[in-house]
Chain A
Amino acid sequence: MHEMSLCEGIRTVIEDQARQHAFNGVKCVRVEIGRFSGVEKDALSFAFDVVMRGSVAEGATLEMIDLPGRAMCYDCIHEVEIENRLDPCPDCGGGKLMPVGGDEMRIKDLEVL
């Protein structure tokens, strides 16, 4: 996907926060990643280390929290949780599901020094 751009987004947010809250280092960045966000976690982790170099977050750990995939089933009109994007509805077996949650890519919090 675009893990490098995502890390540049994370870096921008951290640098804005560093100006506002006057911190000198970041110990841990916690992000929430939805099941359907398309983010490749290994690639994000790799890009994170590269992109944070030379910033206030150099050397910080990246902690990723998974959020479940949720979809609306167009057959039984239930909101259900599914593991994979193309899974059938766990309630009725229907195959027409529209994602309603799980595309999150959020910075939850920063542990700073």
Chain B
Amino acid sequence: MSQERLIQLETDILAKNDRYAAANRAILADREILTLNFVSSPGSGKTTLLCKTIEALGDQPLAVIEGDQQTANDADRIRATGAKAVQVNTGKGCHLDGHMVGHAMEHLKLANNSMLFIENVGNLVCPAGFDLGEDAKVAILSVTEGEDKPLKYPDMFTASRMALLNKVDLAPYCDVDLDLYEENLRRVNPSIEIIRVSARTGEGMDVWLQWLRDRLAQKAKPEAAE
């Protein structure tokens, strides 16, 4: 006869994803690959910003994982810049997870001491909870979205280390208060770094590129003592 009993667990619901993410992170650390998870709403200009970033980085080895619900359009746009890219279609899913990214990494044949950009599904809710093994999340916001975006979706901006305030060239045409935008970002994440950029005009891109190069340099393991 069966008997009721209690099994104590204290297990994170996302423990399985966290294990995949940890495995990705270990590989990426060992191979000194700077990995950034780009998160935003749809239409913030992520893909254009990535294309311009890749072009400006010149011969820096890098690869891109593109996440979208459907189509390979974004991976095609990235490949047109000459960078390696793989498209992950999430189907009904609203975010990339550690397992998908692990598979994509195998396909990409990543170079040591390179950069890996992961363009997550355009969604400010779900991707915040799913670790992929990245070094940092970079949130992209466009000035047309309104200054209160960080207050409406605080989790994503709390989880991000860097916010790129994109399309600043449009600011004069859309009654946006950029200082208030930054204030709202810092309200939900007092330690977030912010750069104002325009992928279209190139404004602020030099600061962003320097940030990337500095992060890549930090990723290098200390040389073994002679």
Q: Tell me the A residues contacting B by CB distance below 8 Å.
A: 1-2, 5-6, 9-10, 12-13, 17, 21, 23-25, 27, 31, 36-38, 74, 85-86, 95-99, 104-113
Contact = CB atoms under 8 A, between A and B. Distances in A.
30 contacts: A2-B126, A2-B130, A6-B14, A9-B15, A9-B16, A9-B17, A10-B13, A13-B9, A17-B9, A25-B2, A27-B4, A38-B128, A74-B190, A85-B154, A85-B155, A97-B190, A98-B190, A106-B9, A106-B11, A106-B12, A106-B13, A107-B9, A107-B11, A107-B12, A108-B8, A108-B9, A110-B6, A111-B6, A113-B2, A113-B3
A80 to B, nearest CB: 14
Contacts of A9: 13-17
Contact of A31 (B13, B151, B187, B189): B13
B153 to A, nearest CB: 10
A96 B129 contact: no
Contacts of A97: 190
B109 interface: no
B88 to A, nearest CB: 15
Contacts of A23: 2, 5, 7
- Most A CB contacts (10 A, CB to CB) among B14, B93, B97 go to B14
Interface string B175-193: 0000000000011111100
B129 A109 contact: no
